[in-house]
């Protein structure tokens, strides 16, 4: 049996039926050395305070639901080892998002931004089944594969200083996803998405702080996608003066 | 220098039925090392603004004749000017290093048939170009050539 270490977790609490504003509550937890932050939260929920609300699911950095601010830094709690932290660990909901309850954030705004970039393959005409499957070479796949690894954990939104100040900004994950489809050789909707990229939530709001890429747990590098999207949006805008578009 | 996010940050276009607390930022958000570096990078804009004003003064002195030019050159020996130009040099190097670190990944995967070179090579090319331009300016401004 490995030795347990007592740690204090300072957790943000907010009950919309009772509280005017979020507050913090401390919990003493005997932690195993191999625990992740999520293990400690589940211990609190199961053994100390069943009223604590937090999101989690897969426990293996795939579902993207357990993102929280750990000691002020956006982290996937299932991937964040407690051994990297001291005796006191602060856990708060992801920054920049409205808080529904305790550590649970409102993600409808994020989903609206994702939807606005039309994250699906757009084609002028659907290929008939008898024409066979869409073919793609490894090189064509490599052009966007990195940006398709996003798990929508929203850590990039919690880290981005522009998201904090520009409510309309599309944000890193949505732009990376739109750029992913723009780079897809099967897609024909780049002009449509570039109009969104130049619209109200414009990609040009990004000041390249690079924080999104620093905190991304899947190495998607959204800052690269956003800044590539800026260049493509400008080229597309210039091309729109000389090339007639159907869509 | 803690600052609250916009209350509407990441809010849905139509509020849900549940009352939510406004978004928050960690109190030390702006003083974290990476954010501090970024703010410092942004703040170099002020230095460039001042350098631009000095450049205007140089242009005015050029137009005003030899006496004005000599007076300007003498004023540049003032320790405050030396300090300012030293800060401007450090700011330029800092921005250059940050720009060269971030620039390669902002390149598109390909433009037509052309692919950008590998990132380490692109880094090396940027620094080489920077060095070459600096050297050329020193040679010309130092009066070595032509």
The ipTM value here is 0.85
User: Cα separation of A75 and A96, whole Å?
Assistant: 14
Whether the pLDDT of residue A87 is over 90: the answer is yes
Whether the pLDDT of residue B1 is over 50: the answer is no
**Would you tell me which residues 36-55 of chain A have a C-beta closer than 8 angstroms to some C-beta of chain B?**
none
The answer to whether the Cβ–Cβ distance between B21 and A98 falls below 8 Å is yes
pLDDT tens, B103-120? 888 887 776 677 778 888
Query: For chain B, which residues make up each domain, given as ranges?
Result: 29-102, 110-146
Report chain B residues touching chain A, CB-CB < 8 A.
Answer: 3, 5-6, 8-13, 16, 18-26, 28-29, 32, 34-35, 38, 42, 102, 105-110
- Which residue, among B9, B16, B20, would best test binding to A if mutated, counting the most A CBs under 10 Å from its CB? B9
Please state, in angstroms and as integers, the Cα–Cα distance from residue A233 to each residue in A24, A180, A204, following that order. 44, 14, 9
Tokens describing residue A72: 């002020």
Q: Does domain A5-105 have CATH number 3.10.450.50?
A: no
Just give the CATH number of A108-239. Answer: 1.10.1060.10
B42 membership: H or E segment, kind and range: helix B33-64
User: Cα separation of A233 and A193, whole Å?
Assistant: 9
What is the fold, at CATH topology level, of the domain defined by B29-102? 3 helical TM bundles of succinate and fumarate reductases (1.20.1300)
Report the mean per-residue pLDDT for chain A: 94
Nearest in space to A77 (alpha carbons), one of A104, A40, A23: A40
- Which residue, among A98, A115, A213, A214, would best test binding to B if mutated, counting the most B CBs under 10 Å from its CB? A98
Q: What are residue B111's DSSP bridge partners?
A: B114
Which candidate from B42, B107, B109 shows the least CB-CB separation from A183? Answer: B109
* Helix ranges restricted to H, chain A: 37-43, 108-116, 138-142, 155-159, 161-165, 172-182, 190-197, 211-215, 222-239
Query: For chain A, which residues make up each domain, given as ranges?
Result: 5-105, 108-239
Whether the pLDDT of residue A237 is over 70: the answer is yes
In this prediction the pTM is 0.90
Q: What are residue A9's DSSP bridge partners?
A: A27, A89
Whether the pLDDT of residue B2 is over 80: the answer is no
Is residue A68 within 8 Å of A145, Cβ to Cβ?
no
Q: What are residue A69's DSSP bridge partners?
A: A74, A92
Whether the pLDDT of residue A8 is over 80: the answer is yes
Report the mean per-residue pLDDT for chain B: 90
- Residues of chain A found within 8 Å of residue B25, distances taken between Cβ atoms: 95-96, 164
**Residues whose CB falls within 8 Å of the CB of residue A215, separated by 6 or more in sequence, listed in order:** A73, A74, A75, A155, A156, A158, A159
User: Cα separation of B39 and B52, whole Å?
Assistant: 21
């Amino acid at each position: 049996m490995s030795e347990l270490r007592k740690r204090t977790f300072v957790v943000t609490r907010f009950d919309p039926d009772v509280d005017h504003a979020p507050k913090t509550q401390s919990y003493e937890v005997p932690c195993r050395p191999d625990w992740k932050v999520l293990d400690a939260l589940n211990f609190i929920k199961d053994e100390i305070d069943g009223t604590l609300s937090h999101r989690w699911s897969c426990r293996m950095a795939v579902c993207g639901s357990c993102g929280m601010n750990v000691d002020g830094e956006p982290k996937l709690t299932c991937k964040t080892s407690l051994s990297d932290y001291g005796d006191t660990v602060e856990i708060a909901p992801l920054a920049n998002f409205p808080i529904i309850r305790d550590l649970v954030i409102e993600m409808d705004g994020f989903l609206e931004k994702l939807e606005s970039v039309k994250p699906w393959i757009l084609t002028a005409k659907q290929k008939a089944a008898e024409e066979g499957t869409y073919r793609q070479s490894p090189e064509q796949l490599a052009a966007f594969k990195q940006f398709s690894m996003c798990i929508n954990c929203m850590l990039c939104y919690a880290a981005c200083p522009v998201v904090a100040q520009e409510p309309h900004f599309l944000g890193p994950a949505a732009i990376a996803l739109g750029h992913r489809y723009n780079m897809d050789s099967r897609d024909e909707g780049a002009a449509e998405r570039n109009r969104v990229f130049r619209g109200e939530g414009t990609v040009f709001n990004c000041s390249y702080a690079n924080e999104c890429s620093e905190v991304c747990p899947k190495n998607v590098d959204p800052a690269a996608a956003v800044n590539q999207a800026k260049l493509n949006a400008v080229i597309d805008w210039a091309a729109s003066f000389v090339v007639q578009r159907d869509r | 220098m803690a600052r609250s996010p916009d209350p509407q940050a990441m809010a849905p276009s139509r509020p849900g039925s549940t009352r939510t607390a406004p978004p928050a930022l960690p109190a030390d958000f702006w003083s974290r090392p990476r954010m501090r570096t970024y703010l410092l990078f942004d703040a170099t804009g002020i230095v460039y603004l001042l350098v631009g004003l000095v450049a205007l003064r140089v242009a005015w002195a050029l137009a005003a004749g030899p006496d004005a030019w000599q007076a300007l050159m003498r004023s540049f020996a003032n320790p405050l000017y030396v300090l300012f130009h030293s800060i401007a040099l450090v700011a330029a190097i800092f921005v250059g290093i940050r720009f060269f670190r971030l620039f390669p990944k902002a390149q598109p995967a390909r433009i037509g048939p052309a692919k950008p070179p590998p990132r380490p090579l692109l880094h090396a090319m940027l620094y080489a170009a920077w060095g070459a331009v600096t050297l050329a300016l020193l040679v010309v401004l130092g009066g070595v050539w032509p």
